[in-house]
Amino acid sequence: MFLLRLAFCFLMLIPKFGFGQVVPNSVLHVKSTVDFELTGDSSAAWNKTFWVRLPHRGGVKKYQTKIKVLYSPTGIYCLFYCEDEKITSTLREDFTDLYLEDVVEAFFWTDEAKPLYFEYELSPHNFELPILVPNDSGNFFGWLPWHYEGVRKTRHATKMNAKSWSAEFFIPYALLKPLAQVPPVKGTKWRCNFYRLDYDEGSSKWSWQLTGPSFHDIERFGTLIFE
């Protein structure tokens, strides 16, 4: 009985001290926020929501990885924390194959009736890959945004520390047009997933929801519910 009580107390401390928690039933409730500036990790706006741990899905390294998500009247905010002893990031250009090195990724499938979704990747050195992906029963290919400027541009920032790095980014609804259910309102549901890749020793990976061999296994994505 004592051991059971001790285990229960430890589990209650996890959200308080920020280890992150696994959200049950593949559903993540997203709180609203006013728009804010990005620093890489330190905005006070993030205090209104909790960390969600991304389970380790393969590879040697089992670093702690976790995320936070918020939404505003103009777009979606994401924050990743990545424990890491060695940063592998040599690419110094946007729109490159960032997934071949350390990277975080977010996928947003706003309408299940249409096999079209948005993918966003960000490297430790703050280079990005935003693409729109048509996916016909696993036959998929990404398209880069056209006239990518003004209100359609993302905002993003990263920070690298001795044993970790963080990535913060904002995806404007203007960039997601013409996807359906954009912008979301209270009660809107999107399918989504969040990933991390690390290349310290071979390839290690993390994901919120477990997918098949491909990250583009959209039928296994989780669900965002906007509050």
Q: How confident is the model at residue 25 (pLDDT cuts 50, 70, 90)?
A: low
Per-residue pLDDT of 114-130, as tens digits, reads: 999 999 999 999 999 99
* Measured CA distances, 22 to 52, 64, 224 (Å): 6, 12, 14
Taking only the tens place, the pLDDT of each residue in 84-102 is 999 999 999 999 999 999 9
Give the residue ranges of DSSP H helices in 107-213: 173-176
Pairing of strands 103-109, 52-53: unpaired
pLDDT (mean) for 100-121: 97
What residue segments make up the domains of the chain, in order of their start?
20-226
C-alpha 213/C-alpha 76 separation (Å) is 27
Q: Which of 41, 15, 101, 31 is nearest to 70 (CA)?
A: 31
81 and 164 Cβ atoms separated by less than 8 Å: yes
pLDDT band at residue 211 under the 50/70/90 scheme: very high
DSSP 114-141: S-EEEEEEE-TTS-EEEEEEEEETTEE-
pLDDT tens, position by position, 36-58: 999 999 899 999 999 999 999 99
pLDDT over threshold 60, residue 10: no
Phi-psi label, residue 26: left if phi above 0, alpha if psi -120 to 50, beta otherwise: left
- Output the six-digit token pair for 191: 């399918």
Q: Quick check: bond before 55 cis, omega within 30?
A: no
20-226 adopts what CATH topology?
A: Immunoglobulin-like (2.60.40)
Return the higher-pLDDT residue of 123 and 18: 123
